[in-house]
Amino acid sequence: MDPHANYLAHRAEIDDAIRKVLEGGRYILGPEVASFEREFAGYVGVRHAVGVGSGTEALHLALLASGIGRGDVVATASHTAVATVAAIELAGATPLLVDIEPRTYTMDPERLEEAILSQRSASPSVLVRAVIPVHLYGQPADLTAILAVARRHGLRVIEDAAQAHGASWNGRRVGALGDVAAFSFYPTKNLGALGDGGAVVTDDPALAERARLLREYGWRERYVSEFAGTNSRLDELQAAVLRVKLRHLEAENARRREIAAIYDKELAVSSIGLPVARSEGGHVYHQYVVRSPRRDALIEELAGRGTRLLIHYPQPVHLQPAYRSRALLQPGGLPHTEQACREIVSLPMHPHLTDAQARTVAEWILSWDRAAVKRA
């Protein structure tokens, strides 16, 4: 990931946008935020977007706006950034963690239904009220199946689209299929600010209005709180930067797909497990994640060549010290999640990577892989 390269690619536009904000003298919830909210809602394909302080806060406020709180249970994946689960707890709810499909790394709809039914049987008075499918690595979760499960059980669907700006499901952009969705604009995202930021998006005007009030102390009238809210506002500078970057998002996502195609082609003859893109989904390759039982040796090999590989994520949430005793688990545990976390690693992926750089990384991996197979 290289957010600095992304700034340099759009430097003149970004610097001009920042200068206009500085000279305009309006720095919080001004015209840039309003314009970005309108433009981003149009891009996603919904009627409303609410700019907030971070992706975590976007999920938190989406939950609160949906009426989810203390005593409720929210199902989500354990194979995700911890922010997903942190937001559930910030809302006062309890996370119920569900296993993934081993090839796509996203929530398994069959395991989701099992988890809901098991929780209902074990604690009839504690209801699963919502599900947060995580569109991981730029790959949409199986929204057709997850929405069907949610409808059967009367659940709110809150999409975690923090890694999936521009991804699609059956021709519609993610964020437009559930009741409400949350996006992050952390600098390394496909649509990244130069600091933190996030957005709640929805077609529901009541949800959007409640999210707007929640982000600023529950104020409809300034200094008068209708209900308890918080301070989570997207600032004007970040909104101005995001407006610039939104204009380039489709081209940069297309470039990510080109780099992924290079990796797919060059590594097809290796023993490395390559990403599987769903036929119904438009993958935007926030990360290009491969897997190998010799993952740690691969990381060491490329580090020796000056290329640092990262793991997204080395520990599932349910095995992290903070959550071992607090999160509920589906019956039978999460074997696919745990196995994936032992084997996955992310290759270099950003829209300013050159074809030559991608091929060089692939060549290094092939060389390492052949040597490893030969030794075995």
Which secondary-structure segment (H or E) carries 129?
Answer: strand 128-132
**Predicted TM-score of the model (pTM):** 0.96
Is the distance from CB of 78 to CB of 106 less than 8 angstroms?
no
Helix H segments across 91-235? 109-122, 143-153, 205-214
The three-class DSSP label of residue 347 is strand
Is the distance from CB of 290 to CB of 368 less than 8 angstroms?
no
User: Can you list the domains of the chain with their CATH numbers?
Assistant: 3-246 (3.40.640.10), 249-375 (3.90.1150.10)
Tell me how long the chain is.
376
User: Is 376 a residue whose pLDDT tops 80?
Assistant: no
Q: Which residue has the higher pLDDT, 124 or 35?
A: 35
User: Which pLDDT does position 320 carry in this prediction?
Assistant: 96
User: Which pLDDT does position 373 carry in this prediction?
Assistant: 73
User: Which pLDDT does position 66 carry in this prediction?
Assistant: 98
Residues 251-292 pLDDT 10s? 999 999 999 999 999 999 999 999 999 999 999 999 999 999
Q: Which range (187-191, 252-256, 323-327) has the least confidence?
A: 323-327
- pLDDT, the chain, mean: 96
The three-class DSSP label of residue 301 is helix
User: Is 104 a residue whose pLDDT tops 80?
Assistant: yes
User: Which pLDDT does position 265 carry in this prediction?
Assistant: 98
**Nearest in space to 277 (alpha carbons), one of 269, 267, 266, 288:** 288
Is the distance from CB of 30 to CB of 233 less than 8 angstroms?
no
User: Is 127 a residue whose pLDDT tops 90?
Assistant: no
How far is 39 from 60, CA to CA, in rounded Å? 23
How far is 134 from 130, CA to CA, in rounded Å? 13
User: Which pLDDT does position 214 carry in this prediction?
Assistant: 97
Residues 26-44 pLDDT 10s? 999 999 999 999 999 999 9
**Nearest in space to 38 (alpha carbons), one of 47, 27, 29, 30:** 47
User: Is 63 a residue whose pLDDT tops 70?
Assistant: yes
One-letter amino acid identity for 228?
Answer: A
**Nearest in space to 349 (alpha carbons), one of 298, 276, 289, 267:** 289
Residues 196-221 pLDDT 10s? 999 999 999 999 999 999 999 999 99
Is the distance from CB of 167 to CB of 256 less than 8 angstroms?
no
User: Is 81 a residue whose pLDDT tops 90?
Assistant: yes
CA angle 75, 80, 86 (to 5 degrees): 65
Is the distance from CB of 18 to CB of 237 less than 8 angstroms?
yes
User: Is 126 a residue whose pLDDT tops 90?
Assistant: no
